[in-house]
Structure 1
Amino acid sequence: MTTLDQAQAFIAALEQDRPSAIAPLLEPHLQEQWRRLFWRRSLKREKDMTTQTNKRLVEEFFAKVNKNDLAGAFAMIHDDVAWWSAGGEHLPFSGVKNKPEFIEAMNAVHAIFPEGLRLVPTGLIAEDDRVAVELAGHAVTADGRNYENLYHSAITFKDGKIVAVKEYHDTLYAKIVLVDGRR
């Protein structure tokens, strides 16, 4: 193979995103370095794909919640989930919930908001198997009161499903509107 042929094959492999095809075109002393570089690049690409997938799953989960497709949203939750929500003893849906308890709590929340609670993602940051999401919550209570709260959730994935959540929001505001019935 001529030098020109090697250069053309090298460029074609890069353009077709086939880095593994490049190693045989290199001098023997450079082949191992290229393989290590390619391996690191592959790991980074795999990690980037996972974080992007997890961000997409968070968006999909909240899209289902916003469409009142609770069964679809619940299907995205791992059976071993630990869902923690701020609020202490003041809010009945706060604390750590397993999947059945979380489903029960969400159904209770749905009873408070017959038209559903819209949780609109306003920012997402992902790393490894975790996604941090900021949400703007909008709803109307059964007796016609507006509910506008801000949320931050740290979501962890396992096997493509939500396995852990830490959910923060303005708990005093939630108590005033949802428990005390004021505002």
Structure 2
Amino acid sequence: MNVYENKKTIFDFFRFLNERKLKEAFELLDDDLHWWIVGSIPVSGDYDFKKITFGFKMIFRAFENFQFTLKEMTGEDERVSLVAESHGIRTSTGKHYNNQYHFLFTLHQGKIHKVKEYFDTVHALWVESPESKEI
């Protein structure tokens, strides 16, 4: 796969997520996926294929109108770097979730094989707490 095809895979992955075509999105993930999420909050840590697909399903259940907006993407060899933003309403708290992300994807034979995900963990905790005020 070349850089253009790898970038298209990442673009398609997020397009499918935004369209709630989870089956199609998950088909772009390698069976031996390793997805790492920054920080020390409950969602931080290491995920395999089963855990990350379950996590995405939970996100779409927990948030109303959850969407990713892709901002900047660059690629080299089998790596794609993506800056993105998300928006959604947390159904349990009514709070607007708007986070900024950096993803570093490594692809293998056209599938997403490794991911490093960085985002604002303080904002993620805030949106979960019904008693916290706007930050």
TM-score, normalized by the shorter chain, greater than 0.5 = yes
- Matched with 1:10 is none
- Matched with 1:12 is none
Letter paired with 2:27: A
Q: CA deviation at 1:112?
A: 1.4
SS at match of 1:107: helix
Q: CA deviation at 1:114?
A: 3.7
- 1:69 to 2:21 alignment: yes
Structure 1-normalised TM-score? 0.68
Q: CA deviation at 1:140?
A: 1.1
Task: State the Cα deviation string for residues 69-94 of structure 1 (Å, max 9, x = none).
Answer: 11211111000000011232x22x32
SS at match of 2:20: coil
- Matched with 2:45 is 95
Stretches of structure 2 lacking an aligned partner (at least 5 in a row): none
Greater RCO (Cα-Cα under 8 Å, separation 6 or more): 2
SS at match of 1:59: helix
SS at match of 2:105: strand
Task: Output the CA distance in 2 between the equivalents of 1:74 and 1:114.
Answer: 21
- Matched with 2:37 is 85
Name the structure where helix makes up a greater proportion of residues.
Answer: 1
Aligned with 1:152 (options 102, 112, 127):
102
Q: Report the count of equivalent residues.
A: 131
RMSD of Structure 2 on Structure 1 (CA): 1.4
Structure 2-normalised TM-score? 0.90
Stretches of structure 1 lacking an aligned partner (at least 5 in a row): 1-48
Q: Percent of counterpart pairs with the same letter? A: 30
Larger radius of gyration: 1
